[in-house]
Amino acid sequence: MTKRIGVVGYGRLGSYLVNKINGEENLIVEFVFDIDKDKLCDLEDSLVLDSIEEAREREADLIVEVATSEWVTRFAPLALEFADLLIFSVTAFAEEGLKENIDAVAEANKTHYYISHGAIIGLDGVRDGKDLLEDVRITTIRPQEGYGLKERVSKRTVLYEGPTRKACQLFPRNVNIHASLALHGLGFDKTYSTVIADPEARVMRHILEVRGRGFVWKIDVQGRPLGERTAAHVTESVFKTVKRICSQEHGMRLI
């Protein structure tokens, strides 16, 4: 059965996703929305929404958000009234009460929403061991251009250390994996974030450190940047996540 996909956000991730979906036999792009209409000039007019509210009139099985945390806050409850939703801008959940609101809408409309793991690995273990966790920390080190700093730093600089909730508020487009980790584990106030800008950095690096009753993990993920904010493997990760959600194949499934 063909699955119809709506895409919100047509930057690097969104355009990559649309191109990949167009090459799949059982997936079809139902619509694309971006506030910046100039980005959409290469798409057929029939795919482009003038406003996100028009998504209600389309028959999307899954809407994929690859835009901003502000979009999640404003429109995720609307989307979940009529479709399932894959959320990439997870820092939106640092806002008090948002998750409870979205949960209520999904429950009322029998829809589902999914949280992208993006650039990090190990979230399955954090989720499964949640009741045993004692300390969860994550450090992000990347070139300074990705943070949108007003002034350049001349040396490796710690921009923030503290609870993940505040990191999400300060760097909403840079610490989505911190937010995913918080959601799967100890929450935004008990997960500890460190954000570092390094002018000498040539890769984006995320160091996950977890301690629980009977186990200690340290995971170091490094990825070559594509642009200022996105690591090389994230684009393909988002696409494969969409395929897993939509898959009806029999046989082995990694869950």
pLDDT digits (tens, 9 = 90+) for 77-89: 999 999 999 999 9
Tens digit of each residue's pLDDT (9 = 90 or more) over 214-252: 999 999 998 876 655 555 577 888 888 898 888 867 676
Average pLDDT of 32-48? 92
| Distance, CA of 35 to CA of 50 (rounded, Å) | 9
**pLDDT above 90 (res 253):** no
* Per-residue pLDDT at 25: 87
* Per-residue pLDDT at 130: 94
How high does pLDDT run on average in the chain?
90
Please name the residue ranges forming H helices in the chain: 12-21, 69-79, 98-109, 123-128, 164-170, 176-184, 234-246
How much of the chain exceeds pLDDT 70, in percent? Answer: 94
CATH 3.30.360.10 in the chain is located at 123-229
Compute how many other C-beta atoms are within 10 angstroms of the C-beta atom of residue 171. Answer: 20
Tens digit of each residue's pLDDT (9 = 90 or more) over 149-203: 778 888 999 999 999 999 999 999 899 999 999 999 999 999 999 999 998 888 8
Superfamily of domain 123-229: Dihydrodipicolinate Reductase; domain 2 (3.30.360.10)
CATH 3.40.50.720 in the chain is located at 3-117+233-246
State the pTM of this model.
0.90
CA end-to-end span of the chain: 22
Which CATH number is associated with domain 3-117+233-246? Answer: 3.40.50.720
Average pLDDT of 35-63? 92
* Per-residue pLDDT at 144: 82
